[in-house]
């Protein structure tokens, strides 16, 4: 498959009162058309920064991003962003929020009637037709996030960028939205970069998982191919050995190789359970399948 | 046993509910009335102790008498005005009956001494003119300095310098400048009206200006990012993101501005001799009849009441236009 998006030797430094802070160092990544890539890593490592550089909202200090043969240097609708906290305009209804984007992107390309149909179609995709004339304050968090996704999809982006789109939602709502997203992805086959903290989410949705090292000077640590067949079903996968192996690979990267020392102090009651997550794996790699359930429980908690 | 406890629980709950209704009624109606009653008593008591050159300070009862007097004057004036026009029309009709070729004289307007209610009307007109001018300047400038940090740095010292200036300081300057620039012919807008409006504008500008600027600078960066991703041009960015996002703050500012405007107006009218409530108070003060103190008290209470009504109206507007219901304070 042809490479659609390429990050080459991207580094970024922030000016802070205490001097410059190098958040990213030499990030290289190639993403093919139609690929769904997850970005995972500990909090504060620089995931949002990578996404914002691709979006054009931040500028890399060195290196650059090329999309479809053209260098990215400003934000634009061909790189639509789904923000973590929905970012809907609170004074507009769901429909009007999508309309704002469609009017801007399809100006002069679609007739008024076509625009209306297109807005409604996108709200339909995310199952929001029933509440499209409600304002953000009148709908639930999950619904707001659906509208945010509809708005981004309606821009017909070359790459869809999602910064922890489901991070603020409860587990059940999140599962619903993940299923919706897989459905949409099956139909539209968008190129997607999604940031997540949730290992299950990453494995379930992605074609590849990009695991980032801890900052400062964070970079791509490992890339894991998720070669599970689609369509994927979360219930069937729960007992799938390969799925659990992949999950475990991600967990091992996060909690063993990139363990955040300050998160798990050596002594103390609360820290003990956290350290035991990694230890048995270390000692006996072949008990992974048994332990994975335990790991999963901890992940939820 | 169980039934008896539950039924007693219900009884308890009902009692509780009745109790809360009663206590709410007491708080929302009883206490304000009590407050007003105590105020009137204290006023009456204090007034009887104050002896002035114009006689005893008026208590509530005398003020009520004066209020009725002012109303009677107004009715009388209205009747006189109606009679004046009837007379003119009759005269024209008579002449027309005598001589069919007669071209009727233009009806002359009635020019009586302005009554208290006419003066209220003048005051309201003046305050709205000043307030409107202030808003027309403050909102665009507020948006501009909210959007541009450099502009803000440039203008902020000026704002801080001009904000605390009292209307009394502006008025002489404004009067002289208006006199120089605006030669009033008969029938034009009176100078005193322009002077008062401009003074009101200069003093009521600042709350709207500052609140608009704060509203614009505090537009959430996420919404700004949405605008950037959509590549909204400057005008559309202001119109569809910045302006609606700062509407709650703009209205908070407008509300403050209107109450400032109303406060400033009375002083401006006194000095500029604009025929509104301020001039009424001033004239009564100069007049110094035994009724004057009572009539001034009527004006003072009217000023307070109108100020209150204006504020409530602004609050209602704010409720209508604000998407952020929490930003609307009491
Ligand atoms: N504008 C900025 N100025 C200074 N430092 C910044 C700025 N933006 C981000 N950083 C720093 O860069 C690092 C990466 O931040 P980033 O927001 O990308 O992390 P993240 O991986 O998205 O974290 P999270 O998972 O908590 O969202 C952090 O240490 C952060 O403090
Ligand atoms: Mg982030």
Provide the shortest C-alpha distance from residue B226 to chain A (in Å).
Answer: 7
Contacts from B296-301 at CB under 8 Å and sequence distance 24+? B297/B58, B297/B63, B297/B66, B298/B63, B298/B66, B298/B67, B298/B70, B298/B116, B299/B116, B301/B63
Q: Which residue of B has its CA nearest to A86?
A: B222
**Tokens 């086959």 found at:** A189
- The residue among A100, A181, A187 whose CA lies nearest residue B229 is A100
| Average pLDDT rounded to a whole number, residues B123-133 | 95
Best probe residue, ligand 1, of A46, A83, A218 (max atoms within 8 Å of C-beta): A46
Per-residue model confidence as pLDDT tens digits over A6-26: 999 999 999 999 999 999 999
How many angstroms separate the alpha carbon of residue A166 from the centre of ligand 2?
12
Ligand 1 within 6 A of CB of A145: no
CA distance to partner chain A, nearest, from residue B231 (Å): 6
What's chain B's average pLDDT? 87
pLDDT of residue A187: 87
CA distances from A99 to A124, A151, B238, B275 (A): 14, 8, 17, 52
CA distance B223 to chain A (A): 6
Is any ligand 1 atom within 6 A of the Cβ of residue A31? no
Q: Are the CB atoms for B238 and B246 separated by under 8 Å? A: no
Q: How far is the CA of A160 from the centre of ligand 2 (A)?
A: 16
Is there a contact between B226 and A105 if contact means CB atoms under 8 Å apart? no
DSSP class per residue in chain A: --EEEEEEEEEEEEEETTEEEEEEEEEEEEEETT-EEEEE--TTSSHHHHHHHHHTSS--SEEEEEETTEE--S--TTEEEE-TT----TTS-HHHHHHHHHHHHSTTTS-HHHHHHHHHHHHHHTT-GGGTTS-GGGS-HHHHHHHHHHHHHHT--SEEEEESTTTTS-HHHHHHHHHHHHHHHHHH--EEEEEES-HHHHHHH-SEEEEEPPSSSB-EEEEEE----SS--HHHHTT-HHHHHHHHHHHHIIIIIT--GGGS-SSSHHHHHHHHHHHHHHH-GGGHHHHHHHHHHHHH-
What pLDDT sits at residue B3?
A: 55
Condensed to tens digits (0 to 9), the pLDDT of residues B179-209 reads: 888 876 656 788 889 999 999 999 999 999 9
- pLDDT for B5 equals 60
How much distance in Å is there from the Cα of A138 to the middle of ligand 2? 26
* Residue A100 contacts B where some CB pair is shorter than 8 Å: yes
pLDDT tops 70 at residue B87: yes
Question: Could you give the 3-state DSSP secondary structure of residue B105?
Answer: coil
Of residues B89 and B256, the one with the higher pLDDT is B256
- A48 CB under 6 A from ligand 1? yes
Q: Which domains does chain A have, with CATH numbers?
A: 35-55+70-80+157-300 (3.40.50.300)
Strand, coil or helix: what is B51? strand
Report the length, in residues, of chain A.
301
Closest ligand to A13 CA?
Answer: 1
Mean pLDDT, to the nearest integer, of B318-327? 76
Chain A residues whose CB is inside 8 A of the B247 CB are 91
- Does the beta-carbon distance from B223 to A89 stay under 8 Å? yes
Residues 199-228, chain B: which have Cβ within 8 Å of A? Answer: 220, 222-223, 225-226, 228
Best mutation site among A23, A52, A55, A195 for ligand 1 pocket (most ligand atoms within 8 Å of CB): A23
Residue with the bigger pLDDT between A8 and B26: it is: A8
Q: Which of A89, A151, A156 to mutate to test the interface with B (most CBs of B within 10 A)?
A: A89
Contact A51/B at CB under 8 A: no
Of B231, B232, B324, the CB nearest to A90: B324
| C-alpha–C-alpha distance, residues A279 and A277, integer Å | 6
The bridge status of strand A191-196 relative to strand A36-40 is parallel
Beta bridge partners of A162: A82, A194
Residue B229 to residue A81, Cβ atoms within 8 A: yes
Residue A230: name the closest of A211, A206, A208 by CA: A206
Residue B288, pLDDT score: 81
**Whether the CB of A174 sits within 6 Å of ligand 1:** no
More confident residue, A259 or B284: B284
Give the pLDDT of residue A58: 94
A100:B230 CB<8 A: yes
- Alpha-carbon gap: B248 to the closest alpha carbon of chain A (Å): 11
Residue whose CA lies nearest to ligand 1 atom number 4: A14
113-172 in chain B: CB under 8 A from chain A: none
pLDDT of residue A148: 94
Low-confidence residues of chain A: pLDDT under 70:
1, 260-301
Q: What is the pLDDT of residue B327?
A: 56
- Specify the pLDDT at position B38: 94
Ligand 1 site, residue A215, Cβ cutoff 6 A: yes
Would you call B230 helix, strand, or coil by DSSP? coil
Pocket of ligand 1 contains residue A212 by CB under 6 Å = no
pLDDT at position B7 is 67
Residue B232 CA to residue B153 CA, distance in Å, equals 26
């Amino acid at each position: 498959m042809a490479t659609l998006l390429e990050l080459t030797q991207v580094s970024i430094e922030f000016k802070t009162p205490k001097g410059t802070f190098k958040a990213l160092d030499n990030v290289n990544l190639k993403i093919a058309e139609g690929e769904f890539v997850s970005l995972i890593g500990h909090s504060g490592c620089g995931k949002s920064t990578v996404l914002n550089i691709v979006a054009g909202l931040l500028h890399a200090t060195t290196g650059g991003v090329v999309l479809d043969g053209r260098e990215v240097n400003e934000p634009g609708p061909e790189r639509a962003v789904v923000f973590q906290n929905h970012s809907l305009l609170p004074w507009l209804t769901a429909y009007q929020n999508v309309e704002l984007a469609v009017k801007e992107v399809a100006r002069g390309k679609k007739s008024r009637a076509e625009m209306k149909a297109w807005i409604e179609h996108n709200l339909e995709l995310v199952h929001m037709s029933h509440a499209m004339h409600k304002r953000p304050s009148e709908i639930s968090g999950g619904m707001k996030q659906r509208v945010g996704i509809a708005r981004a999809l309606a821009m017909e982006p070359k790459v869809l960028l999602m910064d922890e789109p489901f991070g603020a939602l409860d587990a059940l709502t999140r599962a619903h939205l993940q299923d919706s997203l897989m459905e949409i992805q099956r139909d539209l086959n968008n190129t997607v970069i999604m940031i997540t903290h949730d290992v299950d989410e990453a494995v379930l949705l992605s074609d590849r998982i990009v695991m980032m090292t801890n900052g400062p000077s964070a970079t791509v640590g490992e890339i894991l191919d998720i070669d599970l067949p689609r369509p994927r079903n979360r219930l069937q996968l729960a007992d799938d050995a390969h799925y659990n192996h992949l999950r475990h690979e991600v967990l091992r990267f996060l909690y063993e190789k990139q363990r955040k020392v300050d998160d798990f102090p050596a002594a103390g009651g609360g820290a003990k359970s956290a350290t035991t997550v990694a230890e048995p794996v270390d000692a006996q790699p072949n008990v992974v399948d048994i332990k994975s359930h335990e790991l999963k429980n901890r992940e939820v908690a | 046993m169980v039934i008896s406890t539950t039924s007693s629980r219900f009884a308890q709950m009902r009692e509780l509910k009745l109790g809360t209704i009663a206590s709410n009624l007491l708080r929302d109606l009883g206490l304000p009335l009590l407050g007003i009653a105590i105020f009137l008593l204290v006023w009456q008591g204090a007034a009887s102790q104050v002896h002035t050159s114009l006689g005893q300070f008026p208590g509530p009862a005398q003020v009520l008498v004066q209020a009725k007097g002012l109303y009677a004057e107004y009715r009388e004036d209205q009747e006189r005005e109606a009679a004046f026009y009837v007379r003119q029309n009759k005269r024209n009709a008579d002449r027309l009956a005598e001589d069919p070729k007669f071209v009727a004289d233009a009806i002359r307007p009635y020019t009586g001494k302005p009554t208290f209610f006419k003066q209220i009307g003048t005051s309201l007109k003046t305050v709205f003119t000043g307030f409107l001018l202030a808003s027309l300047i403050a909102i665009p400038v507020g948006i501009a300095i909210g959007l541009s940090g450099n502009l803000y740095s440039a203008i902020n010292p000026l704002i801080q310098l001009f904000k605390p200036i009292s209307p009394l300081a502006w008025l002489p300057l404004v009067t002289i400048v208006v006199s120089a620039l605006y030669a009033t012919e008969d029938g034009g807008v009176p100078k005193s009206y322009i002077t008062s409006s401009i003074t009101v504008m200069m003093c009521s500008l600042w709350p709207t200006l500052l609140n608009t600027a704060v509203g614009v600078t505090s537009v959430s960066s996420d919404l700004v990012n949405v605008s950037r991703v959509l590549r909204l041009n400057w005008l559309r960015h202001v119109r569809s993101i910045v302006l609606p996002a700062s509407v709650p703050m703009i209205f908070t500012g407008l509300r403050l501005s209107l109450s400032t405007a109303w406060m400033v107006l009375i002083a401006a009218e006194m000095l500029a001799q604009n025929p509104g409530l301020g001039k009424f108070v001033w004239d009564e003060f100069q007049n110094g009849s035994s009724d004057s103190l009572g009539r001034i008290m009527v004006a003072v209470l009217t000023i307070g009441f109108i100020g209150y009504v204006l504020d409530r109206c602004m609050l209602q507007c704010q409720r209508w236009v604000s998407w952020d219901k929490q930003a609307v304070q009491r």
